[in-house]
Amino acid sequence: MKFETYMASRFRKSSSYKNTVSSPIIKISVLSISIGIIMMIISISSSVGLQKTIKSKVSSFFGDISISNFQNISSESSIEPIDFSINHKDLIDNNKIYHIQKVAYKSGLIINNDSFEGVVLKGISTDFNWEHFSKYITKGSILNISDSISNEVIISENLSNKLDINLHEKFKATFFKQNSLSTPNQRIFKVAGIYESGLIEFDEIYFFGDIKHIQKMNRWKNNQVGNIELFLQDQSDIKKVSTLLYEETSSQISVISILEKFPEIFNWIALFDINVLLIIIIMILVGGINMITALLVTVLEKTQIVGILKTLGSSNKSIKTIFLINGVYLISIGLVIGNFIAIGLIQLQNYTGLIKLDPNTYYVTELPFDFDLISIIILNISVLFFCFLMLIVPSFIISKISPSESIKIK
């Protein structure tokens, strides 16, 4: 065992060291490190959790990337269809795309009793990605789309409450034609399921049904659809893949990602990263300053021992190393305690959902945490490194201590 490590260990185990003036200061410093790492882990986990959850919810409605005719950019109720059979062949070779589905949108109106709501029917087919959307269904079941046209639909909890339409009940929907003088199309639907996504602006408008209704109303062929929606293996590739597809397709084809389609949502959640960065910087500064205070108090308290070590031939570098080892040890203790508490709180929230959020503001009903072990390890190493750097400068006070002055008998 090296001399510096041995002396640092002796300092920590000394009963006189534990009962000195510096003891409460050291405890406060360790506590500040623990609180800091708790705040940082919670902030990062909640920020990433919210971003992933919101992005996943929006993706479950519209896919990660949507392809349609350029004329339909201003309206989801697509008038000009896109040929699914041709474009599907071009897309299937992209290994970043794991799912492709054909959909169409049609604006309409639901009138029930004395209530009415403007709505959009999202027409889906057998290839709809229920893996993403089924977790939002609170009552009933997913749609069983087959070769024959189905009148079953899934509506939101929001529309169900506003229009007083319950599970297994029928209702009439009216869909407008491009020519306002033409008689609107009417359809009788039966509620097979009710969903609640937490995305209020979507829940207020969208309900899901068989795409063949829209194809029939628009007089499209079976291979003609309103949009082709793509789901990617990794959502971090959304910008890259959408740019690539845009460059590869003709000028008549529109390629738009959910990041471009809903910039207000994704610009808002991007602000979380700035807030988290500020929290990390502040917590590291607070923890580092507290550790500097603890180091200075400890050095001043051990002035006589420093003088004796210098008299015995120890160098300033060797003595500084002793105190820095103790500083790293205390930081590590704070990190261990903080990590244990933070990870415990994350697991508690993920299993119980104790912390509730307003879906009108945050798009989720419970605060979601994303537990990423690698990110937590990197964060701990970063905190340890920067706090250690902050301890180096004040440790130079040791070189100013004179052996003759520090050990003389008064």
Nearest to 151 by CA among 77, 213, 216: 213
How much is the pTM? 0.81
Tokens of 410: 């008064």
Residues 206, 122 contacting (CB under 8 angstroms): yes
The mean per-residue pLDDT over the stretch 140-168 comes to: 90
For position 258, what pLDDT does the model report?
93
Per mean pLDDT, which range of 108-117, 302-311, 325-334, 337-346 is the poorest? 302-311
Residue ranges of domains in the chain: 3-56+266-406, 79-225
> Average model confidence (pLDDT) for the chain?
83
For position 342, what pLDDT does the model report?
94
What DSSP string runs through 71-110? Answer: GGTT-SS-SS-EEHHHHHHHHTT-TTEEEEEEEEEEEEEE
Computed from CA positions of residues 11, 16, 20, 25, in that sequence, does the dihedral angle turn out positive or negative? positive
The mean per-residue pLDDT over the stretch 121-127 comes to: 92
Computed from CA positions of residues 32, 37, 38, 43, in that sequence, does the dihedral angle turn out positive or negative? positive
The mean per-residue pLDDT over the stretch 32-59 comes to: 91
Mark residue 65 as left, alpha or beta (left: phi above 0; alpha: psi -120 to 50; beta: remaining).
beta
Nearest to 163 by CA among 211, 119, 107: 119
| Residues 363-401 pLDDT 10s | 888 889 998 899 899 999 999 998 888 888 777 777 667
Query: At residue 299, does pLDDT exceed 90?
Result: no
Nearest to 226 by CA among 107, 56, 58, 90: 107
Report residue 378: phi and psi, to 5°. -60, -40
Query: At residue 194, does pLDDT exceed 90?
Result: yes
pLDDT category of residue 89 using cuts at 50, 70 and 90: low
Give the span between the Cα atoms of 404 and 307, in whole angstroms: 7
The mean per-residue pLDDT over the stretch 296-320 comes to: 75
How many degrees, rounded to 5, is the angle at CA 143 between CA 185 and CA 53?
A: 105
Residues 133, 115 contacting (CB under 8 angstroms): no
CA-only gyration radius of the chain, Å? 32
* CB environment 371-387: b (16+ within 10 A), e (fewer): eeeeebeebbeebbebb
Winning range, highest mean pLDDT, from 242-251, 334-343, 356-365, 366-375: 334-343
* CB environment 281-318: b (16+ within 10 A), e (fewer): eebbeebbebbbbbbbbbbebbbebbbebbeeebebeb
Query: At residue 311, does pLDDT exceed 90?
Result: no
Residues 379, 40 contacting (CB under 8 angstroms): yes
The mean per-residue pLDDT over the stretch 207-212 comes to: 94
For position 75, what pLDDT does the model report?
52
For position 97, what pLDDT does the model report?
86
pLDDT > 70: what percent of the chain? 87
Give the span between the Cα atoms of 359 and 149, in whole angstroms: 35
pLDDT category of residue 88 using cuts at 50, 70 and 90: low
For position 362, what pLDDT does the model report?
83
For position 320, what pLDDT does the model report?
80
Residues 310, 322 contacting (CB under 8 angstroms): no
For position 410, what pLDDT does the model report?
44
Q: Which helix (H) or strand (E) holds 396?
A: none
pLDDT category of residue 79 using cuts at 50, 70 and 90: low
Name the CA dihedral angle for 389, 390, 392, 394, rounded to a multiple of 10 degrees.
Answer: 170
Residues 50, 352 contacting (CB under 8 angstroms): no
Tokens of 194: 């009710």
